[in-house]
Amino acid sequence: MARASHRDGTESELAKKRRARRIDRLLAAAHPDARCELDYADPLQLAVATILSAQCTDVRVNLTTPALFAKYRTAVDYAGANPEDVEAIIRPTGFYRNKTKSIIGLGRALVADHGGTMPDRMDDLVKLPGIGRKTANVILGNAFGLPGIPVDTHMIRLTNRLGLTDGKDPVKLEFQLQQLIERREWTMFSHRIIFHGRRVCIARRPACGACTLASQCPAFGTGPTDPAEAVTLLRGSNVEALAKLAGIEAAL
């Protein structure tokens, strides 16, 4: 039996684009609840929460931000904040001194250059303290509804494993994915990939035998392929639905 082109390295760019879009549709069905898991009410809050999320879980950030957002409501508030006060609040997120410097610097830059409001252009965002392309894409896609593909270690791992990208340079991978995924899907594709990585394609031991992307993945077999074994590796609140989508209801 001939091997699928995406598994033997002969896949054309057109075939890869079609496969990428099939993958996105399958992920949409598997993770209809995919979303930004940081709590925020406006673009500034999302920017601050994203800065805090570096080397920290979203759950921990969401436990920390209510007190921060209650005390600092505007860019002016952050600009005039006492660093020690901010550090005391965000300490649980780790690297709190550097994060405090970025957050206060962000407030000052917004006041000085943008009238105290978050800009909605990539070129402006990446000039702000604590904001790189990944964070800028998170802000654009979720706070402003402007499609973006945030690339972090999770996105690199998953899209490399799926054979959609190669290498570890975040900017190069962002542009590679932009050529494969429909622009209107960029933000949601990013959320779906993250959810898939947390629930199915686990870093150390992916649930290959219980994965809806099995037929589309050149790395199939990295984890257990036996459905009964693989289904035990699924994580999250929708394990039963994921197993059914993979056609292994009997394994539950």
CA atoms of 90 and 215, how far apart (whole Å): 44
Query: What is the distance of C-alpha 245 from the center of its chain?
Result: 23
Neighbours of 1 (CB within 10 A): 3
CB 51 within 8 A of CB 99: yes
Give the integer Cα–Cα distance in Å for 225 and 13: 28
Q: How many CA atoms lie within 13 A of 205 on its CB side?
A: 9
Catalytic residues: 134, 152
What is d(CA 44, CA 57) in angstroms, rounded to the nearest whole number?
Answer: 19
CB 91 within 8 A of CB 67: no
Closest Cα to residue 221, out of 65, 1, 4?
A: 4
